[in-house]
Amino acid sequence: MNELEILEQAIFLKERKEPAALATIIVKKGSVPRNLGSKMIIMRDGKIIGTIGGGCGEGEVIERAFDVIDTGIPCKHTVDLTKGLFYEDGGICGGIFEVFIEPLTVNKE
Amino acid sequence: MLCPNLLQNMKTALAKQKATALVTITSHFDPMFIGKKFLVWEDGHFNNEPELEIIYASFKDLYLSLIQKQKTKCIRSMINEQEVECFVEIYLPRPQLIIAGGGHVCEPVVQMASLLGYYITVVDDRSEFARKERFPLADEVICAGYLDYFQKCPLTNHTWILLLTRGHQFDVMSLQELLKRMETPAYIGMIGSRRRIAGVFEQLKQEFPATAFDSIYTPVGLDIGAESPAEIAVSIFAEMLMVKNNKSGDSLSQETRHLAKLGFRGGKSE
């Protein structure tokens, strides 16, 4: 799925008022799995659409996205993949990237 | 904010082959601005909210230079002595691939082009070859003479062209028409043996300036020993990606092979 298709999905979810957030890679340094502008939609039930890099840091972005969905306040989050440069850790990318997370629909419980 | 009419404006512009910058405000002294979005094109802009005008106006030159460089980037600048950060994403129109010659090489080329997301046009002057059933994945299949077609077809820097006709003389004719055009496509690949091509270039050199040949790749493809039509298609698209991304076309392992032998710490002794 390309980034334009992810934006289309985001609009679709927003119109259905599904609690969700959109995360976009806005800064990267060193070797990271995906390019600037790569996007991922995070739904409140934990489902994701698109990817910003698979195992490399996606988990912590999903956690932050839940806060964004609950509060409605956008945030920036930095993922540091330079620690644990060993294959066994899974995170072998060795760079840093920054993600902007914005709410699509706020979770009102 | 992301909203339906913003996305619709973006899609309409891309369908008209216009590169589009989607700007998101990612940091601002007034938190109300964070997450707001607008669009910028070389010939204008679009936004839903009048208060975004000042940000557009303050950064306009930066946006335009990023559109020209086709570069997605996070930029920071001062407005009223306060820092504002914008993420500028460049969306490019779907590139068009025009394939002249609907023969056996064209078939895997169309298949692979479809995987890679091109808008695919196949042209052949023989009606039995220029049939949509032969190329179900092509967006358009046109039966036309090559001369006529290349005199008039739309050309932009997002147009990629492959000359794969049944006879070398048709490729050369098409090439001559393309070189006469004012617009320059991203890439022209022409199939053919080295010996025949050398002769063609001797002839074209007298008609056209040397710079006219910069976007011509012939024989087409990377040197991977491709023989079958499918292998030739791989070699052609490898070359097209190399051109698009301005890369060497070398094996990625080349740089790291000696490092691997020294151990994965990059040869540092400990």
**Token pair in block for residue B98:** 């025009």
Q: Does any CB of chain B come closer than 8 Å to the CB of residue A49?
A: no
**How many CB atoms are located within 10 Å of the residue A54 CB?**
11
User: How far apart are the CA of B15 and the nearest CA of chain A, in angstroms?
Assistant: 13
Q: Are B118 and B96 in contact (CB under 8 A)?
A: yes
**Token pair in block for residue B230:** 């499918």
Q: Does any CB of chain A come closer than 8 Å to the CB of residue B7?
A: yes
CA–CA dist B99, B97 (Å, integer):
6
Q: Give the residue on A whose Cα is nearest the Cα of B91.
A: A4
Place of tokens 């599904």: A18
Nearest CB to A74 within list B7, B34, B91: B34
CA–CA dist A62, A107 (Å, integer):
15
Q: Give the residue on A whose Cα is nearest the Cα of B11.
A: A4
Residue pLDDT, tens place only, B29-72: 999 999 999 999 999 999 888 889 999 999 999 999 999 999 99
Q: Give the residue on A whose Cα is nearest the Cα of B72.
A: A36
CA–CA dist A23, A68 (Å, integer):
10
Interface of B with A in 79-98 (CB under 8 A): 87, 89, 91
The phi and psi torsions of A39 (rounded to 5 degrees) equal: -130, 155
Domains and CATH numbers, chain B: 4-91 (no CATH), 96-245 (3.40.50.720)
Return per-residue pLDDT of chain B as tens, 270 residues: 889 999 999 999 998 888 999 999 999 999 999 999 999 999 999 988 888 999 999 999 999 999 999 999 999 988 888 999 999 999 998 899 999 999 999 999 999 999 999 999 999 999 999 999 999 999 999 999 999 999 999 888 889 999 999 988 898 889 999 999 988 899 999 998 888 788 778 878 888 888 888 889 999 999 999 999 999 999 999 999 999 999 999 998 887 887 777 765 554 544
ipTM > 0.85 (yes/no)? yes
Q: Give the start-end residues of each E strand in B193-233.
A: 216-217
CA B64, B68, B72, B75 torsion-angle sign: negative
User: How far apart are the CA of A25 and the nearest CA of chain B, in angstroms?
Assistant: 9
Residue A63 CA to its chain's centroid (Å): 9
Q: Does B2 contact A104 at a Cβ distance shorter than 8 Å?
A: yes
Nearest CB to A7 within list B2, B72, B73: B2
Q: Does A11 contact B4 at a Cβ distance shorter than 8 Å?
A: yes
CA–CA dist B106, B123 (Å, integer):
10
Distances (CA, A) of B217 to A25, B65, B88, B98: 35, 29, 33, 15
